[in-house]
Structure 1
Amino acid sequence: MDEEFYNAFATPSTPITVAQTTMLDNETGTLQKPPKLLNIEEYKGWEGRFKNWVQANYLDAWECVETKYVIPLNDDGEEVAIKDMSADDKKKYKNEKMMLSLLQQTVKEDIMVLLQHNGSSYSIWKALRSKFVDIANKVHWIIDNFSECGLRSLGVTFQEVLAGKKESIGELWEFVDLLPLFNPTQHDSSETINRRAELYILL
């Protein structure tokens, strides 16, 4: 009886690998780390999770985004030295640096280098949304062009599943490209998709 009780709690029915745990932590964040943005296509879902995380843990830092914080400048147009800042300016400056640090932690470097911004947390936040909208508009533009030619569009995405099983939790989906389709959906499309699923080819 004691052994059965121990096994019920000590042996998980579905073991979670380190890779799966890391992926979940990246997506939802942890108590110490904000959720990560690894692909710009994931921005729409990530935006709300990141905003909630920052507001729950670093509300003062988030205010720098909402108030469009700008580092104070002197008469020569140069940044005021920290030692010359007032106590209030130092507090705001520290909050801005914290917000920048959080963005740098969460946004993949490959995405960050594509953004056009002036270095402030507000400009980076705004640039992220603009980049996502640009890509979304480009995708819709391609779909519309295909449609004008009488073609359908097939979106191609890629997901790496480290465990090698279709039931396992994989990495985040990555958008690859759009393909034009000439033939409309056939009567046996559902059957074809199911057969491919049995071969671990998910559509």
Structure 2
Amino acid sequence: MLALLTALFLPVLALGAPRASPASPAPPAHTLNPSWKFQHHLPTKPGNAVIYNFCEYDLWMWATRGAKKGEVAQAPTMTKLPAGNAYAFDGLQPLCDGECGMSVKISKTEQQVDVTQFEYAVTANNMTYYDISFVDCVNGNDASKCPGWDQGLIVTGGEGWDASCERLECAAKEVCDKSAYFVSLDKFKGAIHPVRTCAAKWGLNYAACARNMK
């Protein structure tokens, strides 16, 4: 799944810094879901997609958005996300009537190889569809080359705001094919895709190496 969205890139933020501006309302209190693999809250920032790097190693990102019909796709810009920092894409807004969205390719090196992809798209009715893809870094069921997989991953929408929005989770080194793409399923008729939805207004979070959350 690709995403078409204009992303206004905000500065890299230290994970110890506030995740929302002082004017932002605090999310209502929710109890931890006992079915979660990671028993920590990761509240979203309304209107933003935030990438958290909880790994001990740095990550590099390329945000690729789909192009409207007749539009030339822009080349992605590389962004370094140091260990222990976060990066926010501002503005979860639909920009076209068809399929469109954002694919954030995440690598352990400055070379765009063996990438984990965080993908999301906002529809005209302001719903966000989101997923995790290991298709470009996996070897069978071995995703050890995929950034973040060795210590677990989370993608969540509306956490702390809307309990109906579901998490996608991979425990450390788990073959989590119900929560992430290990192969492209487009050619398999009737396949159940590991995609979740949430109202776009509540925002999205992606956490690499989620086992290190505190």
Q: TM-score, normalised by structure 1?
A: 0.25
Q: Relative contact order (C-alpha < 8 Å, sep 6+): which is higher?
A: 2
| Structure number with bigger Rg | 1
Structure number with the higher strand fraction is 2
Structure number with the higher helix fraction is 1
Q: TM-score, normalised by structure 2?
A: 0.24
